[in-house]
Amino acid sequence: MEQIYDNYTTEDQEVWGILFGRQFQNIKKVATKEFVDGIDKIHFTEKAIPNFVETNKHLKELTGWQVAAVPGIVDDDKFFELLSNRIFPATTWLRTREQLDYLEEPDMFHDVFGHIPLLANQPFVDFLQGLAKIGLKHLDNEWAIHLLSRIYWFTIEFGLIREEGDLRIYGAGIISSPGETKFSISDEPEHFDYNVEAIIDSSYRKDKFQTKYFIIDDYEQLYSSLPHIEKVIEDRLQREPVNIP
């Protein structure tokens, strides 16, 4: 499908402006520098909903990636296929004024504001593409896909990074959430150094803040961990799988 930009209403544009304006203020001092820089590189502003045609021009020059419009959450096979071809699927619908603070299903504010700026970072997108290629190898094994989803969850969605001695946010699930932005770097949850085995052995919940977060040193660390991720998943597959939560 395509993003039909002219279909966005005045209210849609206003909602985007509200969401962007308030969350950018929340994260600009606590988000990874690469995210804040990415906002500028792909020309996102609170003045208008991003036009995928224009965004793709910038991304192509920066990392060779593209954004593709999808109606909602896509199946694993399509998701991994798109990512392996350097295409990030993003919804085009936006929440209403009455839904400013919470949605059960990700809308374009999460998909676009939360994810797209970091697509301007080469090691990060190389990691994303690598995860997808691992996923494509294991599409017929539900347990393997679930284990891989834990890596995706605790990095792409809810990852933290250490920059200049301080905790910073890079996960899109945190970046698009005012509440979890503050919570994730507070003293309330547990914080652990990035560890593939620990992440793969960690379950997660989608309906509440995380109880723990994993911290990377840089995005090259993510990319260089891909062979180890694949090895650990293969090792876990040799064991008796437990019930998927």
SS3 content of the chain, % helix, strand, coil (to 5): 55, 10, 35
Residue 218 is given by DSSP the state -
Q: What is the dihedral of CA 21, 107, 153, 206, to 10 degrees?
A: 100
Residue type, 34: E
Q: What angle do CA 231, 227, 38 make, to 5 degrees?
A: 135
Any known ligand binding at 43?
A: no
Tokens of 17: 């402006």
Describe the strand order of the beta sheet including 212-216 as a list of residue ranges: 166-169, 160-163, 212-216, 190-193
How is 160-175 classified by DSSP, letter by letter? EEEETTEEEE--HHHH
Any known ligand binding at 115?
A: yes
Instruction: Give the C-alpha separation, 171 to 21, whole Å.
Output: 19
Instruction: Give the C-alpha separation, 238 to 242, whole Å.
Output: 12
Q: Which residues contact 111 (CB under 8 A, 6 or more apart)?
A: 89, 90, 91, 172
For residue 86, give Cα distances in angstroms to 79, 126, 239.
Answer: 11, 9, 32
Bind-site residues for Fe cation = 110, 115, 157
| Residues annotated in a binding site | 110, 115, 157
